[in-house]
Amino acid sequence: MIKIPNIVISTLFILCISFTANNKIHAQYLENDPTPTQRIFWGGNIGLMFGSYTNISMNPTIGYRLTNRLSAGLGGTYNWTKSTYYDYSGQSYGANVFASFTIIKNLGDAIPINYAGGLLVYGELSYMNIRDYYAIQLPNQPDWVYTPLAGIAYQSPIGIKSYFVFMVLYNFSESIYSPYSNPVIRASFQF
């Protein structure tokens, strides 16, 4: 029997809810010349996994919609991991800058479906402290690591100014120290 990881099941569940939710919601406030404060968004995600392998992560973000299609912002990252199997615990933390560009605002306009989600190109440069992240410290291991990430995202409106965002990113770092493996899959919310 094939065992499907919990993260895959959770992500598929969230996507199903997103697709079957009220697909008539259109986030049109950007089309109506919003004020500078209305262009600010915030959000992120929280990850929790408990058991013999425990992982707690928090990834808050804040950004600004520069135009109706282009957004940029800052984010933070904190991960704490504990494995009773390997008798190990560690943490990593850092910050990132990101930008996204909406290629298709409404997929329903591009393909024959009745849905209001959009397709985005997303890029991020992450700067992480990994000093306490790995159980074994390698010789000359740096304390801080840069990791460039880029990929595509699906953005589904869940309210007038709120979205569910699902991303598939590629880690362009060739470093063995990067805390990200390929592909990097994220699900988050923006308000």
Q: Does residue 56 belong to any structural domain of this protein?
A: yes
pLDDT top residue among 61 and 17: 61
- Output the pLDDT for position 98: 97
Domain residue limits at 90: 6-190
Q: Does residue 102 belong to any structural domain of this protein?
A: yes
Give the C-alpha separation, 125 to 136, whole Å.
Answer: 25
Q: Yes or no: say if 180 and 165 are a contact pair by the CB < 8 Å rule.
A: no
Give the C-alpha separation, 123 to 100, whole Å.
Answer: 6
- Output the pLDDT for position 171: 93
For the cut 70, the answer to whether the pLDDT of residue 147 exceeds it is yes
Q: Does residue 117 belong to any structural domain of this protein?
A: yes
For the cut 70, the answer to whether the pLDDT of residue 90 exceeds it is yes
Q: Yes or no: say if 154 and 168 are a contact pair by the CB < 8 Å rule.
A: no
CA nearest 99: which of 64, 127, 147?
64
Q: Determine phi and psi for 116, rounding to 5 degrees.
A: -105, 10
Q: Does residue 13 belong to any structural domain of this protein?
A: yes
- Output the pLDDT for position 25: 47
The identity of residue 87, as a single letter, is: D
Q: Identify the three-state secondary structure at position 160.
A: coil
Q: Does residue 1 belong to any structural domain of this protein?
A: no
Q: What percent of the chain has pLDDT over 70?
A: 79
Domain count, the chain: 1
CA nearest 153: which of 115, 103, 109?
103
In this structure, what CATH number is given to the domain that contains residue 91? 2.40.160.20
Q: Does residue 107 belong to any structural domain of this protein?
A: yes
What's the maximum distance between 2 C-alpha atoms anywhere in the chain?
56
- Output the pLDDT for position 10: 57
Q: Give per-residue pLDDT as tens, 5-53.
A: 555 555 555 554 454 444 444 455 566 778 899 999 999 998 888 888 8
**pTM of the predicted model as reported, rounded to 2 decimal places:** 0.78
Q: Determine phi and psi for 20, rounding to 5 degrees.
A: -95, -5
Q: Give per-residue pLDDT as tens, 173-189.
A: 978 888 888 898 899 99
What mean pLDDT, rounded, does the chain reach? 82
For the cut 80, the answer to whether the pLDDT of residue 132 exceeds it is no
- Output the pLDDT for position 83: 84
